[in-house]
Amino acid sequence: MSIYLDFEEPINALEQQIAKAQDIGKDAELDMTDKIKELEDKLESKTKEIFSNLTPWQRVQLSRHPERPYTLAYIEAITQGDFQELHGDRNVSDDKAMVGGWGSIDGKTVMFVGQQKGMNTKMRQYRNFGMANPEGYRKALRLMKLAEKFNKPIVTFIDTPGAFPGLEAEERGQGEAIARNIYEMMNIKVPIICIIIGEGASGGALGIGVGDKVIMLENTWYSVISPESCSSILWRSWDYKEKAAEALKLTSEDMKRLKLVDGIIKEPINGAHRNPEEMFATVKREVKRHITLLSKIDPAERCEKRMNKFTEMGVFK
């Protein structure tokens, strides 16, 4: 059974009415075609009305929707199952919150890296809710260096509430691992495409978020802090999370306007969680397009452009 957010309830109500009309037509052998068509038109209109007027906080809610596709779902769809996951950082352990490996997109080999959340309570615990430890970021860097060695492009999928903040993570050098990734990704000689598919929180996102192209899905967010944490710091309460989301300017439109990301990928009108197949096809198309364009640029020039893009951020003349 589908899960609906509070602002999606009018959509839920119309879908239930359509299902009821279909059952009546079937059970009573009545022609309900006109009624169903009327309800479907209302549903389409209401869906467009709701999703074209989303607040920043509602977009944050959508980015966390439990039915929203996660990294491995995108990889599986884009590669049509032609994916070989690689494990471990060759030092501590294999972090289940960070996944990666070789995949094939229409015959072309690509290195995929991304944070993975779980689809149920057990898997969320197994994946540590998408919060990687230092060994996760070191695994990601190992895989990106492997891609560079074999001259293959890199695609990262970002979806994390942040890097894991536990004591053991700090003891193993969480800050150093993220900083090392940012430094190394600036100079990797193969094309890097970073796609924010859900939450893009703080250094946890930046640890795999330095690329030639950084792109956000329409209903995602990218910020140094979550709205709840911002609210708790400024107002000592989570009650102001909507106000914090507005002030943080964390939506894809805000990020594009501020030139902190390179583009926005439109989602299906009712969100990626309602039509994942369409979302997969759109992301695959964008990945292929950017790989083709970036592969034509000289590696040294590509690295210089990448570095200049990030060093110019936040500079006002």
Residue 203: alpha-carbon gap to chain centroid: 15
pLDDT in tens, 240-289: 999 999 999 999 999 999 999 999 999 999 999 999 999 999 999 999 99
DSSP state of 268: P
Neighbours of 118 (CB within 10 A): 18
What's the pLDDT score for residue 22?
86
Can you give the pLDDT at residue 303? 96
User: Residue holding tokens 């960070």?
Assistant: 98
Pair of tokens at residue 204: 């946890």
For residue 317, pLDDT over 80 is answered with no
* Mean pLDDT value across the chain: 95
Q: Which of 3.90.226.10, 2.40.10.10, 1.10.3720.10, 3.40.50.2000 would CATH assign to domain 59-311?
A: 3.90.226.10
CA–CA separation, 263 and 23 (whole Å): 44
Q: How far is CA 184 from the centre of its chain?
A: 22
Q: Where are the domains of the chain?
A: 6-53, 59-311
Residue partners of 28: CB distance under 8 A and separation at least 6? none
Report pLDDT for 41. Answer: 92
Residue 233 predicted with pLDDT over 70: yes
Q: Are 113 and 144 in contact (CB under 8 A)?
A: yes
| pLDDT tens figures, 119-149 | 899 999 999 999 999 999 999 999 999 999 9
- In the chain, the percentage of residues whose pLDDT exceeds 70 is 99
Interval 177-213: pLDDT, tens: 999 999 999 999 999 999 999 999 999 999 999 999 9
- 14-46 pLDDT, tens digit each: 999 999 988 887 777 777 788 888 999 999 999
